[in-house]
Amino acid sequence: MDNKLGLGALVSLVIGSMVGAGVFSLPQNIASHAGVGAIAIGWLVTGLGMICLALVYQSLSMRRPDLDGGIFSYAKAGFGDFIGFNAAWGYWICQLLANVSYAVVVFSALSYFFDTPDRVIFGDGNTPVSIVFASLLIWSVNALVLKGVKMAAMVNVVTTIAKMVPLIVFCVAILLAFHMETFTLDVWGQQTPELGSVLEQVKSTMKVTLWVFIGIEGAVVVSARARHRRDVGRATVLALLGALALYVMVTLFTLGVMSQPEVAALKNPSTALILEKVVGPWGAWLINIGLVISVMGALLSWTVLAAEVPYIAGKTGVFPEWFSRENKNGSPQVSLWCSAALVQFFLIIIYFQSSTYLALVNIATAAALVPYVFSGAYGLKLALSGQTYEGQPHQRKRDMLLALIATGYGCWLVYAAGIEYLLLVALLYSPGIFIYWKARQHHGLRGMNRLEQGMTAALLGFAVLALYKVVDGTIPLS
């Protein structure tokens, strides 16, 4: 049986990974930080940065077809084994936290239908009932992917189409209800002093805008399973442009229906309440049903991606070899079981810490920054060296500029993330040191050099500081 993925399946996988729960809460998440003008600037910066990153991935997928792991293989090829491992580990942690956040938000959305003022069943997705059902959901998706990546991709195509329907209805409705006087009421947020300066507003939107694009590298991660290598880059660019258009409409045009303070005060998923205002109660029902379908699809996509990263890492010597073991359906069974077990572990932590969807989003976003920065940096390094560019001077200059912008954008995001979330990332990265050591043993490789030992010491130091601040409550997890 052909277990390869065509262009349609790859595009669906990338869209399914990017367009998950975030888009349904995006209007409130963005409006709570910025006015119309700053939001437009934020999307311009984000759009430019992500388009450049997508084109870097497109170029690298063609110039280095031997690097199937994509996002972490590029970091390893450009900057050594230790950086490559941490890019793989960080990206895997990001994917696992994304799956946890999706499981939480599914049951938060279902609370709209089942909870009453005097009876809380699902709440914010972190009640005992929610955790039990979220666990069942995680293991059910795991069982589906164990039947084969191809089957999971086919199911994902269906869920991707289904979840786009309520979003298209939403976009059409707000376009018809759009009022320019509402849109231009307070363009730069000057009537809301707590938003801060325009620069602060733009900076505050960056983590939110990055989160809804995480998954852009989905086709690159599964590039070894693509039917045609050229489809990897095409799927990445097509999915990005489609998602960018959708996100701009959902966030900017909404402010022509309701003012920035009104949108900022909404509960999430805010798109449900906005559509309810425009078309009536059925709008909220449609959005909440769409959210559940959307998150199911995103959970499926991210389960595939989360399993693929340690699987490829195990095959290429970055992770211990046993991560690369497959079942009879060609699914990475050890990687899948480990991923599901860790998601289950995080769900238990969520219950005891009462963590919310947005807290998980911020941590997962910060965890993804390292692999993104090093992917762009490798594209820049490759173009500067001229390797694979023989007889292509114009293409080399173009790719150099794209990689420079993508790397600069990644560095800006590291700055915008803030010290608290970077410390939490160090805490999440530190257990990976043991896996790295075991991987070196399994593959008969030498130990750490002095530079790697220094980076390890710094990472552990920041992890200890983060743990101290979490315990004393300085850094909350809720």
Side chain identity at 39, as an amino acid letter?
Answer: I
Closest CA relative to residue 357, chosen from 128, 25, 39: 25
Predicted local distance difference test score (pLDDT) of residue 129: 92
H helices of 253-332, in order, are 260-264, 270-279, 281-315
The pLDDT, as a whole number, for residue 1 is: 46
| Cα 232 from Cα 73, distance rounded (Å) | 15
* Angle at the Cα of 78 from the Cα atoms of 46 and 393, rounded to 5 degrees: 75
Q: How far is CA 156 from the centre of its chain?
A: 17
Quick check: helix, strand or coil at residue 83? helix
So what CATH class is 7-418? mainly alpha
Cβ-based neighbours of 337, under 8 Å, separated by 6 or more: 142
Share of the chain above pLDDT 70, in %: 92
CB 201 within 8 A of CB 193: no
Residues 6+ apart with CB under 8 A from 78: 374, 377, 378, 381, 382
Global pTM reads 0.83
- Which stretches of the chain drop beneath a pLDDT of 50? 1
pLDDT by residue (tens digit) across 124-143? 778 899 999 999 999 998 88
Cis amide leading into 320 (omega within 30): no
Q: Residues 207, 209, 212, CA angle at the centre, nearest 5°?
A: 105
Cα 203 from Cα 130, distance rounded (Å): 34
